[in-house]
Amino acid sequence: MEPIYLDHAATTPVHPSVIEIMASELANTFGNPSSIHTFGRQAHRKLEDIRQVIAASLGVKTHEIIFNSGGTEGDNTAIIETALSRKEQGMHLITTAIEHPAVLETMKYLESLGFEVTYLPVDKKGNLSVKDVEKALREDTTLVSVMYGNNEIGNLMPIKEIGTLLQTHPAVFHTDAVQAYGSQKILPHDLGIDLLSISAHKINGPKGVGFLFKNDQISLPSFLHGGEQEEKRRAGTENLAGIAGMGKAVELLTDDEKEYRHEKYADFERIILTELDKAQIAYQVNGDPKKKLAHILNVHFSGVSSDLLLMHLDLKGVAISTGSACTAGTVEPSHVLEAMYGKNHSAIKESVRISFGFGNDEKQIQQFTAILIETIKKIKQ
């Protein structure tokens, strides 16, 4: 049997078309986009063409896209620079307890500098209350950072409602949309989003490249200092081959393609849950099935250690995970599940994340489900 990869929420395989265009750029467009000679101008033109493609995908101005190294840099830039540049207006920040580590660890860093951070709770389905956001807002709140879609349970956050709420408040609104951009139609201006972080490797693009959307209406100092690239907003020579690959990945994500993937992944989930029911396997889906990204399925298998289950599946050529890839190799429990259920709930050590993507088909899902059921039964013997 061929290996089955079902950990697309951690990273995605690079699309063949992306590999092709990156190879071409590496071979043929090696000029520095900041150079004024022919080679540099050629690279610069390509850079700006890609910027237009990406801006169009969000319905924003070309100028509002800043190329960078990915989601972590985007989150750090948005949060740290917003906080530091506005500390005279206030030192209170708001986020949620279920954010990606790129946000949570950045908030902890700012706390060490004297900032006060409110970590909003979620309910047992992983949902955030807009009323809690409203209650947390203060005169000295300068930033609200709420992820678009959760990377562990898939829950979609009430971004539009928060954007509407902040229309009458001066706080900057940032969202980490790394996990959601590949499947959701996101229009920042319509949603009231000021800053939005994206990483290419979540959409079948290359690792180490991404972009930050910055609303022209807000100011944001550069996080990196050096050259005057990206209109003085992000120092460092642009990774043109990586950016070209990201641009191609974005081109492939048409509205029709996103809808097709949504329906396909929803079918995959139905297959898995239906077969689990037939096999009388005890399980509970973590998160809110009515408000989530279709490609993520987080399941609690009662009485089955998630670490043991992953080990058995890996030996059989199946890749899933227990949660965020950024905590891989650690023994720390999921902070998302802890926020939902409390620290001692059995789901924390008995849950796995299955995430679908490019290359998966119904045959694979059927094979995976059969292996999963067989493995769970063996563990529980």
Tell me, yes or no, if 326 is annotated catalytic: yes
Q: What is the DSSP letter of 327?
A: G
Joined tokens for residue 302: 């009662």
Tell me the CA end-to-end span of the chain in Å, nearest whole number.
25
pLDDT of amino acid 235: 86
**Would you say 349 and 305 are in contact if contact means Cβ atoms under 8 Å apart?**
yes
C-alpha triplet 187, 189, 194: angle, nearest 5°: 110
**Would you say 347 and 286 are in contact if contact means Cβ atoms under 8 Å apart?**
yes
* Type and span of the H or E element at 262: helix 255-278
Strands (E), the chain: 4-5, 65-68, 92-96, 116-120, 141-145, 172-176, 195-199, 210-214, 283-286, 296-301, 318-319, 351-355
Single-letter amino acid code for the residue at 52: Q
Q: Mind listing the pLDDT tens digit of every residue in the chain (381 residues)? A: 799 999 999 999 999 999 999 999 999 999 999 999 999 999 999 999 999 999 999 999 999 999 999 999 999 999 999 999 999 999 999 999 999 999 999 999 999 999 999 999 999 999 999 999 999 999 999 999 999 999 999 999 999 999 999 999 999 999 999 999 999 999 999 999 999 999 999 999 999 999 999 999 999 999 999 999 998 899 899 999 999 999 999 999 999 999 999 999 999 999 999 999 999 999 999 999 999 999 999 999 999 999 999 999 999 999 999 975 554 455 578 999 999 999 999 999 999 999 999 999 999 999 999 999 999 999 998
Sketch out the chain's domains with CATH numbers. Answer: 4-13+255-379 (3.90.1150.10), 16-252 (3.40.640.10)
Maximum distance among all alpha carbons in the chain?
70
- State residue 242 phi and psi, 5-degree precision: -65, -40
Q: Which residue has the tokens 């209170």?
A: 92
Number of H helices, E strands in the chain: 13, 12
- Between CA 150 and CA 159 the distance in angstroms is 12
CA distances from 220 to 66, 77, 85, 338 (A): 11, 9, 7, 34
- Between CA 209 and CA 306 the distance in angstroms is 31
Residue 301: CB atoms within 10 Å: 22
Half-sphere exposure of 206 (CA within 13 A, CB side): 21
Pick the catalytic residue from 97, 319, 326, 373.
326
pLDDT of amino acid 332: 77
Q: How far is Cα of residue 252 from the mean position of the Cα atoms in its chain?
A: 18
